[in-house]
Structure 1
Amino acid sequence: MTFYRALCAGFKKRRPIGQTIFLTSVFWLVFHCFVLQLWVIQEPLPNSNHPVDDEHVHKEQEILVTSENTLWTYKAMNLTFWKPLKKIEDGDRTGPGEGGHPVTITKGIEEEMKKTFHINKFNLIVSNMVALDRFLPDRRLETCINLDIPPLLPQVSIIIAFHNEAWSTLIRTIQSIKDRTPSSLIKEIILVDDGSDQTHLKTQLDSKVAKMNRNNLPVTLIRMNHWGGLIKARLRGSALAKGKVLVFLDSHCECNHGWLEPLLAEIYRNRTNVVCPVIDQINDKTFSYSKSSLSLGGFNWRLIFKWYGIDTKERRRHGDLTAQPIRSPAMAGGLFAIDREYFYHLGAYDEEMEFWGGENVDLSFRIWQCGGTLLIHPCSHVGHVFRSTTPHDWDGGLSGRNLAITRNLVRAVDVWMDEPWRDFYYLANPGARSINPGNLTRRFKLKESLQCKSFSWYMQNIYYQSDWTLEYRFLGYIRNPETDLCWDTKSLKSSSKLQGWPCHGIGGPQTFMQTYEGYIIQDELRVVVNGQGRALNIHEKRFTNPNNRWLHSTDTLQLVHLGLDLCATVDGNTTSTSPVREVLLTICTDANPNQQWELVAHDYGDIKREW
């Protein structure tokens, strides 16, 4: 009672101040109760704790959990307030590459550029000319700028793995994060040095990281003892991450305005959402920055990632394509955001995979088949330097790299595909049948524990627009017995010339399908006549004439183009010592050995594999 009287006396003496303090306290109490009620959420993912150990990565047997169709969201205590960054107008900057414009190359340094291009497989001289904090215009649509994003979002651990990355591209990646990300959302940036031996990535990088931390940018540098590849480096970084959400970026990126918030908003709404930004293109020669259009991710017969246009069904389902995420059957794999616990719930990366390649397809399958959703958000843009080839030396060179990637894909195929689709993969890629995938026991146990849907469900409901099909007249290689040459497109790219190459029997660019309609196709490409009327090319199906159909005669072995009534012919007019010949259309003549073609179907007999 004495305390109460003293309190009342204090209010009488300082009534205006006391009332203000009292009312303010009540306001904040009510506000926080409202926030807690609004964002208090379900239970966290079951059994998803994982050890933090900087000597090894997470093991699959520790993450086997039961999948449930539950809307997992966050507890309020695991979210943080954030404020949009103030828009900075730097459009008057005129240095090289400013505004995303291409850098003009003078003749004086052209030879030097050619000498250094092989180091990183991009123009190192131009990259060094571009400011580390260059200005990029905000090209988001108004609907994205005004996007409704929750005021509370989970913090992120941004993981950037690199091996012998150029200084300018690595630091520009980090600087773009700092300049275009609300600082309250960054729990940490984790740099994983995957066995680099470049001198600028030693003490110079240590000093730079220390300076970043002094300037309140939380950066951790982890060094691997040797080059183990992207998959193992990312596993090492994710095992040490403290943020609620993992954001994986490559080391030659530039984050654009408002890139992170849309990704987090979708994960906040459902922790089983895995969200990718639109990947803008940074030219590997001029470092121009070009905004990419919104596309779906998929894969071809070899399970190599491809971009595809948004189909009518997805447009109709979605409605607004300007500010809402679209469902994508697959991810490119370099840039994406995922809830940390959900990442381990799904089995993280397959740690038995080597280096990189195929891990994106494997994770895409698991996301969709095991209860998650894979999205691409049109309001999130991150630039990426696209290179035509890797700068890294693999054991065994190109063949060693292809072997490692194929083995990774075989691991994904054997675990996540049903028999008819698995058989199709091995029919289209007979060279993959001999690859030993290693022990798959833990991955099968993971699949069983998560109670995942079948691959047939995935193809019917998610990747229904795929060029994979189980209905065809013929699948194999097209061989001329006279020369032992097979149809070959070599590059598997649209507009590639059709040629005859020595038959190798391992599939790839020598695998063709004839549909029941008579078209001869390869992945999403169709064999057509070029504008001159004699040579043959492959083009995307939507750009081809429906008259480009073929008839194979079992009597004469001729392949007749029905639209022109001409026969496919090995070009005999050559003086070259090369075994490669053109495949042309000529007038059909009886008993011409250069017009005889065997349709050699890939055999089902070798598909059953036991390891």
Structure 2
Amino acid sequence: MIHAIPSLDRHEKKMRWKRISFLIIFTFIWLTLVFIYTRDLSRSDESKTANDARSNKDRKIQQDDKDPHDRKVREKIEQHAQQVIDLSNDEGDHEVKLLEPQSEQEMQDNIRWNPNFDEKAYIGATALKQGEDAYKRNAFNQAECDKLPTDRGVPDTRDYSCRSLEYKHKLPTTSVIITFHNEARSALLRTIRSVLNRSPSELLKEIILVDDFSDNANDGRLLKILPKVKTLRNNKREGLIRSRVRGADLAKGDVLTFLDSHCEVNERWLEPLLSRVAQNETIVVSPIIDVIHMDTFNYIGSSADLKGGFGWNLNFKWDSMTSEEQSQRAAHPTRPIKTPMIAGGLFSISKNWFIKSGKYDMGMDVWGGENLEISLRIWMCGGSLEIVPCSRVGHVFRKRHPYTFPGGGGFVFAKNTRRAAEAWMDGYAKFYYKREPGARGVPYGDISDRLKLREKLKCRSFKWYMRNVYPELNVPEGVNDKFGELRQGGKCLDSIGGKPGDRVSTFPCHGGGGNQEWIYSLDLKQIRQRDLCLYLSDTKGQHIPVTLMPCEGDAKLMAWDMTKDKIRNNFIQRCLTISSSGEIVADPCEDDNEKQIWQLKES
């Protein structure tokens, strides 16, 4: 029994130590919980204070957002912006400013939009005044443009077969470059939002906005807070061509994607373009350009059966596909479309190839002719141009330019076009001067750098281009050949993209060339499109149908005299007529028949 007592004492001490340990642990846990609670409460109070401060500032900005210089709007947005970095341009003649966006991680997390951006104040600061002409500033309906949401949905205008296509996982990144001068803020913002909303984050490296010395510097400056957006501002008017080059020089993406500032990209617009460039970096690709109506801003799908081209006035126009091309399109609607020329406003090009192939002609001014020059250069110097039908981008087409050209728009376009003709068209430039004799007197500057580039890249001839790329561009068979629309009032003779044996018709004139542009040969007396001529399908009977047939056919059934506003076939003494049913026929000529009066409006 004596030996049992020490054992009981040791047990009691052990139990007492366990109780003390438990109290220590419990006390530590309790103090930790109290600390966490106190810290969160403190943060909540700080957050409330910050939110109150922001709310007060927001109310103040909204009161002042009518300030024409956007002073209060700028103060709100710039508190979230990062530092401004000064960069010199390539000529060193003035400074441009590159405004850095958020960090890469923040951009990935917030690709859609930035909640700190006050969109209403940004657009409202340049809203139309009461009674102001809605078309004066931008040559489109600004009132309608301002009214629409900047993140509106658009109809998916792709062919259904495009929607099931898959693209390889690893595609190159792109820098989207948008230049603008006095653009409507709502149109510019809608362009940016559509790119952010419909572009995979991992493919969209950045959006570079190049403000070409707009009247209000805040048009671009206030957008620097937006995800992935960088802004440049020229300190003098440079024009689209030089502005695009400056944006391209700063771009970090593998591919450069140029957009106009009044566009809306469609669903999965980017992947088809980048996929094609990834296959071959010398391919320059353009989307199908849908129409955003300048009055209503309705989004309208465009035909996928057209390609870009030009006439001997060197103006861009849309050409109908040949019969063979149409058959191929019907069988393979997702295949890229080889195009002799691109419209120029919207396209993607490998940055490496852009640099190697000569960027843009920096001797050109403002706008116009640059798409002809880059199209000829790419084709003749080892590359190619394609329209990718599974990529769709809407564009606002206007009837006039809202901005001025130094020296006048006609002079600038003639100068730029003459530079392209002299540098790339060899002896065929004479046909341009026959069509546009006034261009001969327009000085076009020094093109020696372009000629050296041709030699360096071992570029092919314009004759090769005509034979292999654009055989539809017929060499005029006489100096007196005329090009243009055959009009009767507001309607134009239209081939409807016809094939041999098809009838022609009339449709409202659209001024875009293509099906409505005809060549009249004074030597051969033929009226033709490509290799098809207007043809009498019979020589007897009433209302003889007029069709399209290869121009190598019976010459007397394709010979038309255009005198005294009539188009007459002297073999059967019949005149081109719009019948009572609206068909194009050959009827007996009548002096007082208004349906036989035609005018050739030269293009």
State the TM-score bracket (shorter-chain normalisation).
0.5 to 0.7
Letter in 1 for 2:252: K
| Deviation at residue 344 of structure 1 after TM alignment | 1.1
Secondary structure of 1:446's partner? helix
- Residue 455, structure 1, aligned to residue 448, structure 2: no
Q: Distance in 2 between matches of 1:164 and 1:370?
A: 36
**Residue from 56, 59, 66 that aligns with 2:90:** 56
- Which of 435, 438, 446 is matched with 2:445 structurally? 438
Whether the aligned pair in 2 keeps the contact of 1:413 and 1:422 (CA below 8 Å) is yes
- Change over 3 Å in CA distance of 1:561–1:448 after alignment to 2: same
1:162-201 deviations in Å (ceiling 9; x for gaps)? 0000011000000000100001111111000001004xxx
Query: Mapping of 1:329-478 within 5 angstroms?
Result: 329-396=340-407, 400-419=408-427, 421-466=428-473, 468-470=474-476, 472-475=477-480
Q: Distance in 1 between matches of 2:475 and 2:384?
A: 24
Go from structure 1 to structure 2 and tell me whether the alpha carbon gap of 1:319 and 1:116 turns closer, same or farther (over 3 Å shift). closer
Structure 1 492/286 Cα, relative in aligned 2: closer, same or farther at 3 Å? closer
| Secondary structure of residue in 1 paired with 2:281 | coil
Provide the residue aligned with 1:280 in structure 2: 290
Task: Note the alpha carbon deviations across 1:462-521, whole angstroms, 9 max, x for none.
Answer: 11122x324x2451689xxxxxxxx9989999459xxxxxxxxxxxxxx97425541257
For residue 550 of structure 1, the aligned residue among 540, 557, 560 is 560
* Structure 2 residue 218 is matched with structure 1 residue 203: yes
Q: Compute the displacement of 1:145 (Å).
A: 1.8
In the alignment, the residues of structure 2 paired with residue 519 and residue 292 of structure 1 have an alpha-carbon distance, to the nearest angstrom, of 31
Amino acid at match of 1:392: Y
Question: Aligned pair in 2 of structure 1 residues 324, 191: CA closer, same or farther (>3 Å)?
Answer: same
Q: Which has the larger radius of gyration?
A: 2
Task: Decide whether the 8 Å contact of 2:223 with 2:229 is kept in 1.
Answer: no
Task: Decide whether aligned partners of structure 1 residues 219 and 527 sit closer, same or farther in structure 2, where only a CA change above 3 A counts.
Answer: same
Instruction: Say what the alpha-carbon RMSD is for the aligned residues.
Output: 4.2
Q: Match of 2:152, SS?
A: coil
Alignment of 1:190-339 (within 5 A): 190-198=208-216, 202-203=217-218, 205-210=220-225, 212=226, 217-294=227-304, 295-315=306-326, 320-339=331-350
In 1, the alpha carbon distance for the partners of 2:203 and 2:147 equals 31
2:150 pairs, out of 123, 132, 156, with: 132
Alpha-carbon contact 2:336-2:386 (below 8 Å) kept: yes
Amino acid at match of 1:268: A
Structure 1 unmatched ranges of 5 or more: 1-51, 59-82, 87-109, 479-486, 497-510, 530-538, 569-584, 589-611
Q: Deviations over 1:343-371 (max 9, x none)?
A: 01110000000111110011010111111
Q: How far apart are residue 305 of structure 1 and its match?
A: 0.7
Q: Deviations over 1:201-241 (max 9, x none)?
A: x336423322x1xxxx2111100112221111111111111
SS at 1:170 equivalent: helix
Given that residues 57 and 239 in structure 1 are in contact (C-alpha distance below 8 angstroms), is that contact kept between their aligned partners in structure 2? Answer: no
Match of 2:285, SS? strand
CA distance in 1, matches of 2:235, 2:160: 47
Any idea what SS the aligned residue of 1:286 has? coil
How far did residue 527 of structure 1 move?
Answer: 10
**Secondary structure class of the residue paired with 2:248:** helix
**What does the per-residue CA deviation read over 1:296-355, in whole Å, with 9 as the maximum and x for residues that have no partner?**
110122111111222134346667442111101100000000000100111000000011
Higher relative contact order (CA 8 A, sep 6+): 1
1:247-290: per-residue Cα shift (whole Å, max 9, x none)? 00000000100000000000000001110000000000000001
Report 1:107-146 matches (<5 A): 115-146=133-164
Tell me how far apart the structure 1 counterparts of residues 575 and 335 of structure 2 sit (CA, whole Å). 50
Distance 2:320 2:326 in 1: 10
- Alpha-carbon contact 2:155-2:299 (below 8 Å) kept: no
Determine if contact 2:366/2:405 at 8 Å carries over to the other structure.
Answer: no
Contact 2:288 2:389 (8 Å CA) reproduced: yes
Q: Deviations over 1:539-571 (max 9, x none)?
A: 9989x9996733599xxxx99652673899xxx
Aligned-pair CA distance for 1:142 = 3.5
Separation in 1 of the partners of 2:562 and 2:162?
54
Shift of 1:523: 9.8
Which of 549, 559, 562 lines up with 2:570 in the alignment? 562
Measure, in 2, the Cα distance between the counterparts of 1:523 and 1:401.
30
Deviation at 1:526, TM superposition (A): 9.1
Superposed, 1:516-595 pairs within 5 Å as 516-519=523-526, 549-551=559-561, 561-562=569-570, 565=573
Query: 1:112 deviation in Å?
Result: 6.6
1:369–1:454: 8 Å Cα contact kept in structure 2? yes
Contact 2:282 2:350 in 1 (8 A): yes
Query: What is the identity, as a one-letter code, of the residue corresponding to 2:222?
Result: S
The whole-number CA distance in structure 2 between the counterparts of 1:414 and 1:232 is 20
1:130 to 1:563, Cα distance in 2 relative to 1, 3 A? farther
Greater Cα shift, 260-269 or 227-236: 227-236
* 1:173 partner amino acid: T
* Alignment check: 8 A CA contact 1:113 1:125 kept: no
Which one-letter code corresponds to 2:192 in the other structure?
I
Kindly provide the amino acid, as one letter, of the partner of residue 461 in structure 2.
S
**How has the CA–CA distance of structure 1 residues 54 and 338 changed in structure 2, closer, same or farther, with 3 Å as cutoff?**
farther
AA partner of residue 174 (structure 1): I
AA aligned to 1:475 is: N
Contact map agreement 1:548 1:563 (CA 8 A) in 2: no
Distance 2:250 2:531 in 1: 41
The 3 A distance-change label for structure 1 pair 546 and 243 is farther
Q: Does the 8 A contact of 1:330 with 1:364 survive in 2?
A: yes
Residues 355/560 of structure 1: CA separation in 2 closer, same or farther (3 Å cut): same
The 8 Å contact of residues 365 and 416 in structure 2, kept in 1 or not, is answered as yes
What secondary structure, in the 3-state scheme, does the structure 2 residue paired with 1:246 have? strand
Amino acid at match of 1:300: G
State the alpha-carbon separation in 2 of the partners of residues 488 and 142 from structure 1. Answer: 37
C-alpha displacement of 1:461: 1.0
Distance in 1 (alpha carbons) for counterparts of 2:132 and 2:332:
41
Residues 114-172 of structure 1 show CA distances to partners (whole Å, capped at 9, x for unaligned) of 71212100000000111000012333334212223111011111000000000110000
Report the CA distance shift for 1:522/1:464 in structure 2 as closer, same or farther (over 3 A).
closer
Instruction: Give the C-alpha shift of residue 435 in structure 1.
Output: 2.1
Asked if the contact 2:535/2:547 (under 8 Å) is kept, the reply is: no
Equivalent pair of 2:486/2:493 in contact (CA under 8 Å): no
**Match for 1:186 among 183, 204, 222?**
204
CA contact (8 A) 1:567 1:587 kept: no
